Structure 1
Amino acid sequence: MNAALPDEVFGSIDTGNTAWVIMSAALVLLMTPALAFFYGGLTRAKSVLNMMMMSFAALGAVTIVYVLWGFSMSFGNGLTGSDDIAGIFANPFALFGSDQLTQTRDVAGETQVVVWGSTGIPAIVFMAFQLTFAVITVALISGAVAERVKFGTWVVFSVLFATIVYFPLSHMVWGGGLLSGDEHGFASWMFGSTDGEANVVPIDFAGGTVVHINAGMAGLILALVVGRRRGFGRTAYRPHNIPFVMLGAALLWFGWIGFNSGSELAADATAGLVWINTAAATAAAMVGWLVVEWFRDKHATSVGAASGVVAGLVAITPACGALTPVGSLLLGLVAGALAAVAIGLKFKLGFDDSLDVVGVHLVAGLWGTIGIGFLAKESGLFYGHDARQLAVQTVIALVALAFTAVLTTAIAFLLKPLGWRVDREAELTGIDAAEHAESAYETA
């Protein structure tokens, strides 16, 4: 039987905030099937089912482990009052199975529940919201190794990556660990309050480091370890269904409102500002991408518009609560242009990032995280402040890069005995038939 939680974590429910976060969790959950459409449309017809199944597999596998030990590793110390492990992760067994989050108590005739901090949101609702972030982070990685990876190995990787990389990084940034604004975080001693100056804390409102830098770097590592598709550099890998790509991008944009505005954990004015900033940056990034395409290729493409949308969403994610709408427009415009240029790096450097996870999520995620140091309205250089915020943002981005790179490399090599690659015939004739005994389109 699980031990009782301390009295201070019980409280009354704020029904407005709770309703908003439940809705936001549903919106973010939709993003993983949306990603399946986005990625599926970008692959060839003989690989679309496998590509979509990789997202659905992440949805299944990561949900299970998040309920069992993921929430405990990420946020458990915030409810149990226990110490974390070296500021890197919380005790995975303290809230194992998450049953303790359903505890209640009666106070003066009122039933109180386990709430998350001072938000008035039941901890079980906060857990549901955070679960959806873990799922899509893992699913994002799959685009870097499309059309050549064994499905079984991918499922095992999903569990190991979530446990060894995502949950600790989530704790470090959002759960009071080393990269947080908590008194034990690095910023408290790097740039503590002195001579009346305000303390500078890391800003990652909704997941620039935890989600996008993390997924982008993991995608790069897997692309290098797994190797290039047969014919890379000689074969034109054309999207088989651009309407799928556009549909996926549209649903991602819709779901991202829950991703960003929901991270305020309140139905308030800041959530409204985040909504506007998200829309502004996304629109500007789409324009930035299309401008690069127009000057480079003399065409503005549908795939480019959809990719620009995703790049803008990625960049604004960490910054959406710290910028003005005009600052968001600038951040997004630069993000779209940078990502449009960055996707060509794989051909120059020789790594096969199949669906541009590195070019979009890593590059735009880095810019969004570091760009806060320039554009944050309360602490950015462009608003007359010193370089401390820029320094903090750069440090958390670099630490996230190194943390993910080292641990993902270890996981990738650990799984080599299972076999990463499908055989040559399966890759050439179609991974859908080899791995799933199905085809997306019956022509007979």
Structure 2
Amino acid sequence: MAIANLDILSDAFSYQRPADIDAKLAELRATDGIAYVEPEGIRPYWAVSRYEDIRYIESHPELFSAEPRTVLIMEALEQTNIARFGDAQGVKTLVHMDGEQHRALRQITRDWFMPANVAKLRGHVNELASEFVQRLRDTGGDCDFAADIAFWYPLRVILQLIGLPQEDEATILALTQRLFAPDGYVTEEQDATAVFVETVQRMGEYFTALAEDRRASPRDDLASLLANAKLDDQLLDPFTLTSYFVLLATAGHDTTSASIAGGMLALIEHPDQRTLLEQHPELLPQAADEMIRWVTPVKHFARTALEDGELRGQRIRKGETLAMFFASANRDEEAIADAGRFDIQRKGSRHLAFGHGRHNCLGMHLARMEIECFFGQLLPQLDSVALAGTPTYIPSQFVSGLQTLPLTMRFR
């Protein structure tokens, strides 16, 4: 069954209207679950909306490759990337890789993000959460919760782990926002491709200088670990190293920021859940996970079919792209009971907000803990909270969430 207007799924500005995206994905789930989309300016792809299909794709790297196309972007930008960096078969970022090279690179930082080591950070993360709750109190209660708080708190956590100075936070935040949502920074002088390329170049320069510094003067931080890491007795090549830094510094905070802002909005829109959480703070771990599922900041990743096959009765040809829409999977009632309900008591939802399989999120345990700590500090002090305006959303089909969340808050 043909579904009209599926091209909005790969249109950045459509994600400023999340209800439209959710409705279109629900329509796709209710029909074939998969459809071929041919949007203007973007190479065609199969839109995959069902939970089990996405798990299947992510569970079979021998059939579906992470390279060369991981994200649905404008064809002009894809060609620009190839011209600048070469064929992804030869030069790849961590998210493009599969197999032994991918496992070896993840292993470099994996231990830092395992539950036992993340647990050791809880005391410090609680202190940071307390600082940002105090920042909220200092506003007098009228604030843009997304731009004033949610963007900055996870950024502080991950940049301290990497070893970056506090005075660089604004630079990294600005570069992250331009990298993930270049369409929102288009001017008469720069189109989205130019914005993206300039951002990548600035990030490359920043992290190249950081690596040089840590090789000269190592410290106890992630920057030193990465800068001095070796594979096959060789330091990481400049492209792999800087792209690894970019991944840690951007994905390490942007998705958590979106979950905190979206989680706050969910508590406002579901006051019974906020009351329940205030009365039962032991539910914070489940609430944090539910916020992540509810928001699903990473909207999609793409995979390339390595051979001819079939999915839900559709013929998939070798070389074709399959785009996995994680937010749709996380609303799939066949996989998650009452998936359309925000429920902080939900247990074992098996959501896919962190991905699945070999590319699942390295920082998922840290993200959950950051959210727990923040709301654990905030809710006991919060007397009331209400919207003070209309929330707005970031124009990005890749990583997206609230751009503004104007609130009026009163504290105890």
Q: TM-score, normalising length from structure 2?
A: 0.25
Instruction: Name the one with the larger strand percent.
Output: 2
**Higher-RCO chain (CA-CA 8 Å, sequence separation at least 6):** 2
TM-score, normalised by the number of residues in structure 1: 0.24
